[in-house]
Every structure is written in structure tokens, then in C-alpha cells.
């Protein structure tokens, strides 16, 4: 088996186990068994577990954001397209393998001890913020930076509430708040107000992909942790 295929099999197995069971609960022996790849070859691809974790997070980042953008682009709505973000979350929350945000989970487990993990979490949240700014600009919001930060709080809050079972309607409630924020935001005349819900698309998943994303500048260390 060629090395690229070995890497793909290891990452697929590791990603499934890390997301389902937690990073610290999954050892390299479990990944060896799940992937069918010997420890020797596994360590040829990833010299440490931390290296494997950061590649796993890079894949999750790419795949989750790609699924989000595809969903928002395809949304059939007469209102602000940005609200489709919360329809995407609602669909994701109903999938059988939903276990919350990979990045919040990873930061909770390792962020205090692993700078590469903290960096990966910061990079994901920073890039997601830029996506939200882009969606808002497409909806006619000319200065979207502050509003995007507020929407990111709603996104992360909805994910945590859905994952913990604290609020089974987390996506809908967050969407309603977002609609209120959008309705009160200045926009050029003729821009639609938040009314219509996007037509649901197939539930999003996070399949493995081979190419990690390029990380954003590293965050301050633990006394001022990155926003997640």
C-alpha cells in the first residue's frame, strides 16, 4: 500500500474515533486496529499523536467549512442568505454521529497543554468568522465585522447547547436571534429582510479529505485563550 493511501486510512480511522470517543480516550493501538495499519507504518506517516491530532483537525476544518459554504450557496431563500447558516446547523444536529464541535471538544481536552491544538482551534474559528463576514456582505451588510462576531457566538452557543442536550431547539432559537440582529443592521434599500427560512439541504457530514488548511497566526497562550 502506498504512503498516501496509508495516511488516508489512518486519518479516516483516527478522525472517526477521536470525534466519537474523544482524543485522549483513543490510543495509537486503537487507531492501528481500526485502520488495519501497523504501528510502524502509522508512525512513518505521523511521528506523534499530536501530529495526527493536528492533521485530523485540519481535515475537519476543511470539510466542515466546505459543507457549510455549499449549503449556504445552495439555499433557496428570499431573505438573508446568512440565516442559512443556522439551517445548516439544524440539519447537522439531527445526524446520528453528531458529537458537537470538534474544535471546542479538542480545546477542552488539549488546549491547555498543546500549542498546536490551540492554534488549530483558533485558525478554524477565525476562518469561520471570515465566512460569516462574507455571507453578511452578500446580504448587503457593508460593515459586517461586529455582526459576524455576534453570529459566531450564536453558532458556537447553538452547537454546545445541541451537543449537551441543553436545548433541543438550539439552531432555531439562534436563528431567531440572528434574524433580529440582521433586521436591525443598516443595509442598502431593497435588500430583503429576514423572513423566509432556507429550504433544508441534505444533512451535513464531515468526511475525511486529504489536504489540511493553512493555519491563521497563533493565538496568545493560555492566560488569554483563543475564542472558540
The string of DSSP letters for 115-178 reads HHHHHHHHHHHHHHHHHHHHHHHHTT-SS-HHHHHHHHHHHHHHHHHHHHTS-TTHHHHHHHHH
If pLDDT is split at 50, 70 and 90, which confidence band does 76 have?
confident
Read off the pTM: 0.81
If pLDDT is split at 50, 70 and 90, which confidence band does 202 have?
very low
Q: Output the nine-digit C-alpha cell for 138.
A: 452578500
Q: How far apart are CA 188 and CA 172, in angstroms?
A: 27
Q: Output the nine-digit C-alpha cell for 173.
A: 432559537
Residue the block writes with cell 440572528: 178
Does 77 have pLDDT greater than 60?
yes
Higher pLDDT pick, 210 / 68: 68
Does 188 have pLDDT greater than 80?
no
pLDDT, position 79: 86
Rounded mean pLDDT, 12-31: 97
DSSP string, 189-218: TTPPPS-PPPPP-SPP-----S-PPPPPPP
pLDDT, position 85: 98
pLDDT, position 221: 36
Does 2 have pLDDT greater than 70?
yes
Share of the chain above pLDDT 90, in %: 76
CB within 8 A of 113, min separation 6: which ones?
none
Higher pLDDT pick, 172 / 194: 172
Does 200 have pLDDT greater than 50?
no
Higher pLDDT pick, 146 / 200: 146
Rounded mean pLDDT, 217-222: 40
Does 199 have pLDDT greater than 70?
no
Q: How far apart are CA 6 and CA 9, in angstroms?
A: 5
Contact assessment for residue 82 and residue 151, using Cβ atoms and an 8 Å cutoff: yes
Cα 203 to chain centroid, rounded = 14
pLDDT, position 191: 54
| CA nearest neighbour of 159 among 204, 70, 69, 98 | 98
Rounded mean pLDDT, 76-85: 91
pLDDT averaged over every residue in the chain: 86
pLDDT, position 72: 97
If pLDDT is split at 50, 70 and 90, which confidence band does 194 have?
low
Amino acid at each position: 500500500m502506498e504512503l498516501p493511501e496509508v495516511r488516508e486510512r489512518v486519518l479516516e480511522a483516527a478522525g472517526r474515533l477521536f470525534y466519537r470517543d474523544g482524543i485522549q480516550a483513543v490510543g495509537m493501538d486503537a487507531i492501528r486496529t481500526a485502520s488495519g495499519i501497523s504501528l510502524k507504518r502509522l508512525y512513518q506517516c505521523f511521528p506523534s499523536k499530536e501530529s495526527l491530532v493536528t492533521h485530523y483537525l485540519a481535515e475537519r476544518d476543511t470539510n466542515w467549512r466546505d459543507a457549510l459554504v455549499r449549503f449556504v450557496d445552495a439555499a433557496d431563500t428570499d431573505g438573508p442568505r446568512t440565516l442559512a447558516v443556522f439551517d445548516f446547523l439544524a440539519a447537522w444536529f439531527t445526524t446520528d454521529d453528531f458529537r458537537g464541535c470538534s474544535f471546542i471538544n479538542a480545546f477542552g481536552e488539549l488546549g491547555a497543554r498543546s500549542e498546536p491544538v490551540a492554534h488549530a482551534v483558533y485558525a478554524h474559528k477565525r476562518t469561520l468568522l471570515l465566512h460569516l463576514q462574507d455571507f453578511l456582505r452578500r446580504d448587503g451588510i457593508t460593515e459586517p465585522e461586529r455582526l459576524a462576531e455576534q453570529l459566531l457566538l450564536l453558532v458556537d452557543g447553538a452547537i454546545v447547547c445541541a451537543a449537551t442536550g441543553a436545548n433541543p431547539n438550539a439552531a432555531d432559537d439562534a436563528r431567531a436571534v440572528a434574524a433580529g440582529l440582521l433586521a436591525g443592521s443598516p443595509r442598502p434599500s431593497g435588500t430583503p429582510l429576514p423572513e423566509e427560512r432556507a429550504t433544508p439541504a441534505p444533512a451535513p457530514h464531515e468526511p475525511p479529505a486529504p489536504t489540511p488548511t493553512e493555519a491563521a497566526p497563533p493565538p496568545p497562550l493560555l492566560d488569554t485563550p483563543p475564542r472558540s
